[in-house]
Structure 1
Amino acid sequence: MSAALESSAALYQRVKRVIPPFEWPVFAGDIAAILQLKQERRAVVLAHNYQTPEIFNCVADIAGDSLALAREAMHVDADVIVLAGVHFMAETAKLLNPGRTVLIPDPQAGCSLAESITARDVRLLRERYPGVPVVTYVNTSAAVKAESDICCTSGNARRIVESLGVPRVIMIPDEFLARNVARETGVEIITWAGHCEVHERFTASQIRTLRRENPGVVVLAHPECPPDVVAEADFAGSTAMMSDFVDTRAPARVLLITECSMSDNIAVRHPGIEFVRPCNLCPHMKRITLTNIRTALEEMRHEVSIDPAIAARARAAVERMLAVR
């Protein structure tokens, strides 16, 4: 362990503000092993913004929101992709990299949004609303994507809806994201009653209370939050957009209305900013750990596979999204 601690000392300097010194020895051995295994396997780790700091800052080769990971997954120079995120993200990486091995450290890392809708549900919606295009959030299974016209992320949802040039769309499965986009675009949006179990717990009254308790705080909200929460915020956007806001505006005190590891990861590079942390954890993201990333690489286990017939149609919906700039 002492060798691992010594070799990872520089990495600890990145995260020392958010990981106490007594915790670091617990992580150092796995980090050193993962860095070695990545070289041996010609592997890269893609990590979502909600991963914990020791993953996000110390073993990830590419980190970001769903859109960034989807785009970057197509250009990685590697034989193996380890997706430090949830299952739909690993499926998306596989869709865009059919010739590469994609591993998910814990196949039970799911998503309440993805679990809220099935491919059959989409087919029934099409029957009920013939001719209305289906815009599907990437937080869905490949089977649901395969029934869709085009995908979107929280970072490009408005742009995707507007790109269709139609007065009415079906947008699934996140009801709150759809309602927030409808307000911004004026497009009539048929919604589905799916919700993120992290973001649906925030309330407008909670935001008002936090403002009173933290004078001058700048509030940034994720568009998966209920519309009245978004209305209370100073800015609403994807995790990448929130991160960019902090990078460029550098508010003295900021409140991120999203999964709480996001604040830790941004705080690493902004020591002078105070982060107010209303901590809603995603239980699915937290199933990913250094230990199971290491095990996935050691044993090459939990490989993601998608039925080719589903994959071809799902890939088309994702590629249509990526073609919209």
Structure 2
Amino acid sequence: MNMSQKPLPEQYLSLSEEEMDRRIQQAKKVLGSKLVILGHHYQRDEVVRYCDHRGDSLKLSQLAAQAKDAEFIVFCGVHFMAETADILGAPEQKVILPDLDAGCPMADMAELEDVERCWNQITAQYQAEFVPVTYVNSTAEVKAFCGRHGGLTCTSSNALKILKTLFNEGKHVLFLPDEHLGRNTAIQLGLEEEDMFQWQRENWDIELPKVAPQIILWDGYCGVHQRFTPAHVDYVRSQYPGITVIVHPECSHAVVEKSDLSGSTDFIIRQITAAPAGSVWAVGTEINLVSRLAKENPDKTVICLNENVCLCVMMSRISQPHLLWVLENLQQGKVVNQISVKPEIAKDAVVALERMLELSK
């Protein structure tokens, strides 16, 4: 689904912080229960403060589906998150992304045409049963592909349980689109490098191994988490003796291996929130979340694993002016920047999401 971003009206760019705050609060009051604003953990503070809920992408989409009274769901996140909210929401609900240019490079690394080419090659070569599993950080089209081919979605919280179940059933996996989450999870389950194969999406003459690997990893990655290196872990340990290093599993295996803990954004938040006063943490994830954790845990020392700010540029496209613009349009009865997944794609994508929820119980 390609939609172009309309230029933000000039009048919104010159407003003071106080004026934007006043008008956003006013729009929220007028729209009342018809409106739910969702904010991802990586969202900037000046936007997330207006959100009714904050969380990771799947949690927010599930909250959107539960908000039965809400006619409008404004998703302060990126494109694939708004798509998932639209897939899980009621037909009459309208999902709005304040800036349509807020995409996800990792999701875009798995294009449907490339995924189909890979799948055709796998199924032509192997008798083994492969199941496509896509991280929720993927397009609606890729989720639908998995739904059509007996596959499902996963999150960084439930990838371990899902892959363990599939491997125990004797199945093999094509894991999309984040190679690091796939590799880290597989290694956690005892797989060796020889049990995995790295698919190269830009190589049109790729040769698969003769024996079916347990897992084929797509070569996608998150640009933010790719910036953390083993050298960063060594450096913070040298500067802060006794520090606990916690990272997201979208980091490379070399980083995860050197860290003390790894897990989803919710896992990271829970660990630091429950930690004793005086503890020191280096966190390998997006800087807005790290900064918020530092503010919300003043009795602990919380720093970013990489001192050079690791910002999700796409997430930061959602700004106060964009949020105000979409809310004031809603006040006037106009829906702008609606994200609407085609029914035939949504039908297959929801199958993949439902299979995940069933396996995650």
Contact conserved, 1:53 with 1:264, CA < 8 A, in 2? no
Q: Partners of 1:310 and 1:239 in 2: how far apart?
A: 28
Question: Could you list the per-position Cα deviations for residues 240-297 of structure 1 after superposition, in whole angstroms to 9, with x for gaps in the alignment?
Answer: 1100111112462111101100112223321211121232111101101111111111
**Structure 2 residue aligned with 1:272:** 299
Q: Partners of 1:250 and 1:266 in 2: how far apart?
A: 14
Q: Partners of 2:222 and 2:98 in 1: how far apart?
A: 22
The reply on whether 1:62 has 2:45 as its aligned counterpart is no
Contact conserved, 2:287 with 2:310, CA < 8 A, in 1? yes
The reply on whether 1:303 has 2:303 as its aligned counterpart is no
**Structure 1 residue aligned with 2:179:** 175
CA 1:140 to 1:269, structure 2 compared with 1: closer, same or farther past 3 Å? same
Q: Partners of 2:101 and 2:183 in 1: how far apart?
A: 29
The reply on whether 1:286 has 2:326 as its aligned counterpart is no
Contact conserved, 2:62 with 2:85, CA < 8 A, in 1? no
Please report how far the alpha carbon of residue 112 of structure 1 lies from its aligned counterpart in structure 2 after TM superposition: 1.4
**Structure 1 residue aligned with 2:156:** 154
Please report how far the alpha carbon of residue 128 of structure 1 lies from its aligned counterpart in structure 2 after TM superposition: 2.1
The number of residues matched between the two structures is: 300
Q: Partners of 2:170 and 2:99 in 1: how far apart?
A: 40
**Structure 2 residue aligned with 1:9:** none
Alignment counterpart, residue 43 of structure 1, candidates 26, 31, 35: 35
Contact conserved, 1:31 with 1:59, CA < 8 A, in 2? no
Q: Partners of 2:161 and 2:52 in 1: how far apart?
A: 28
Farther-moved stretch of structure 1 (246-255 vs 169-178): 246-255
Q: Partners of 1:267 and 1:29 in 2: how far apart?
A: 28
**Structure 2 residue aligned with 1:140:** 138
Please report how far the alpha carbon of residue 26 of structure 1 lies from its aligned counterpart in structure 2 after TM superposition: 5.0
Q: Partners of 2:179 and 2:250 in 1: how far apart?
A: 8
Q: Name the TM-score, length of structure 1 as normaliser.
A: 0.88
CA 1:321 to 1:70, structure 2 compared with 1: closer, same or farther past 3 Å? farther
Output aligned runs, 1:88-167, within 5 Å.
Answer: 88-97=80-89, 98-130=91-123, 131-148=129-146, 149-164=151-166, 165-167=169-171
**Structure 2 residue aligned with 1:30:** 20
Q: Partners of 1:298 and 1:166 in 2: how far apart?
A: 54
Task: Tell me the amino acid that sits aligned with residue 72 of structure 1.
Answer: L
Question: Could you list the per-position Cα deviations for residues 163-199 of structure 1 after superposition, in whole angstroms to 9, with x for gaps in the alignment?
Answer: 3333421110101111001101246221011011111
Farther-moved stretch of structure 1 (110-119 vs 179-188): 179-188
Alignment counterpart, residue 246 of structure 1, candidates 266, 272, 286: 272
Task: Tell me the amino acid that sits aligned with residue 47 of structure 2.
Answer: I
**Structure 2 residue aligned with 1:190:** 216
Question: Could you list the per-position Cα deviations for residues 114-143 of structure 1 after superposition, in whole angstroms to 9, with x for gaps in the alignment?
Answer: 110111222222212223000001111101
Q: Partners of 1:120 and 1:166 in 2: how far apart?
A: 28
Q: Tell me the SS of whatever aligns to 1:113.
A: helix
**Structure 2 residue aligned with 1:11:** none
Alignment counterpart, residue 255 of structure 2, candidates 218, 229, 251: 229
Q: Partners of 2:263 and 2:233 in 1: how far apart?
A: 16
Q: Tell me the SS of whatever aligns to 2:66.
A: coil
Aligned alpha-carbon RMSD (Å): 1.7
Runs of 4+ in 1 over 4 A off after TM superposition: none
Q: Partners of 1:180 and 1:99 in 2: how far apart?
A: 39
Q: Tell me the SS of whatever aligns to 2:133.
A: strand
Task: Tell me the amino acid that sits aligned with residue 347 of structure 2.
Answer: A
CA 1:37 to 1:126, structure 2 compared with 1: closer, same or farther past 3 Å? same
Contact conserved, 2:293 with 2:302, CA < 8 A, in 1? no
Contact conserved, 2:294 with 2:303, CA < 8 A, in 1? no
Considering only CA atoms, is the larger Rg found in Structure 1 or Structure 2?
Answer: 2
Percentage of pairs with the same residue = 37
Runs of 5+ unmatched residues, structure 2: 1-14, 124-128, 192-213, 330-334
Farther-moved stretch of structure 1 (282-291 vs 125-134): 125-134
Alignment counterpart, residue 63 of structure 2, candidates 62, 72, 75: 72
The reply on whether 1:87 has 2:122 as its aligned counterpart is no
Farther-moved stretch of structure 1 (159-168 vs 145-154): 159-168
Q: Tell me the SS of whatever aligns to 1:74.
A: helix
Contact conserved, 2:131 with 2:171, CA < 8 A, in 1? no
Q: Tell me the SS of whatever aligns to 2:296.
A: coil
